[in-house]
């Protein structure tokens, strides 16, 4: 019996657009992911000052999101980034509950990252987990295949997500556009958000 043919790349884009009809929602999702990662790291390091940094590069058509949260190891990456629909939020909530912390994790890393494929041709994740000596670099072009390799790019604990914007979404490489989206989506978060190294944005 003939089988239906599926373009995995097209499926990822379609799923992302179905879940996130507004293109700029990826900014909210990636900031929320950073928030959750910081909260998890604060279980072990209560005095940690959470920090989220966003950098735009209009020349390269990229926008990056960097946090000083818990980071990920190889197992985390394979489970959370490389499996569509898998979310670490349930596990995160349980970890926070076990630590007697009354907080709410608001993002779902695997699903949240999917939102970026609405605007991206490529997504890269650089990450280093607390207490690990090895950092990792994950790359996906919106298709079935991904690349995962060790990396020296991350020297400190945390995660950096680099979104390479598609031709139809170049506006998200503009600092003003990003600041407007941050004010729209992230005014409730407790951590400072810096844009292009210019200090915390007033939200």
Residue with tokens 């970026």: 116
When pLDDT is cut at 50, 70 and 90, the band that residue 110 belongs to is low
Contact 154, 129 (CB under 8 A): no
pLDDT attached to residue 92: 41
State whether residue 181 is helix, strand or coil: helix
- Listed residue (67, 180, 64, 49) closest to 122, CA to CA: 64
Q: Is residue 4 over pLDDT 50?
A: no
Please tell me the distance from the alpha carbon of residue 154 to that of residue 70, in angstroms, as a whole number. Answer: 13
Please tell me the distance from the alpha carbon of residue 21 to that of residue 174, in angstroms, as a whole number. Answer: 21
- Report yes or no on 15 lying in a domain: yes
Structurally, the chain folds into a number of domains equal to 1
Residue with tokens 């390799």: 149
- Report yes or no on 104 lying in a domain: yes
pTM of the model: 0.80
Which run of H or E residues covers position 8?
helix 8-19
- Report yes or no on 55 lying in a domain: yes
User: How confident is the model over 114-141, as a mean pLDDT?
Assistant: 91
Backbone angles phi, psi at 46, to 5 degrees: -60, -30
The residue segments making up the domain with residue 172 are: 9-187
pLDDT attached to residue 130: 87
- Report yes or no on 114 lying in a domain: yes
- Report yes or no on 3 lying in a domain: no
Q: Is residue 16 over pLDDT 70?
A: no
Q: For the domain that residue 30 is a member of, what is the CATH number?
A: 3.30.565.10
State whether residue 142 is helix, strand or coil: coil
- Report yes or no on 195 lying in a domain: no
pLDDT, averaged across the chain: 79
- Report yes or no on 31 lying in a domain: yes
């Amino acid at each position: 019996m003939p089988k239906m043919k599926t373009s995995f790349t097209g499926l990822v884009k379609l799923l992302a657009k179905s879940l996130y009809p507004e293109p700029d929602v990826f900014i909210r999702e990636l900031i929320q992911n950073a928030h959750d990662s910081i909260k998890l790291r604060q279980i072990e390091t209560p005095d940690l000052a959470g920090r989220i940094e966003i950098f735009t590069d209009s020349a390269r058509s990229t926008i990056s999101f960097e946090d000083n949260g818990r980071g990920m190891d190889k197992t985390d990456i394979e489970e959370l980034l490389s499996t569509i629909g898998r979310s670490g939020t349930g596990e995160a909530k349980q970890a926070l509950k076990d630590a007697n912390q009354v907080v709410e994790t608001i993002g779902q890393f695997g699903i949240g990252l999917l939102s970026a494929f609405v605007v991206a041709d490529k997504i890269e994740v650089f990450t280093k987990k607390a207490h690990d000596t090895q950092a990792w670099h994950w790359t996906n072009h919106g298709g079935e295949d991904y690349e995962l390799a060790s990396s020296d790019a991350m020297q400190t604990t945390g995660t950096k997500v680099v979104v390479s914007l598609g031709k139809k979404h170049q506006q998200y490489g503009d600092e003003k556009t990003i600041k407007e989206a941050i004010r729209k989506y992230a005014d409730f978060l407790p951590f400072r958000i810096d844009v292009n190294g210019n200090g915390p944005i007033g939200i």
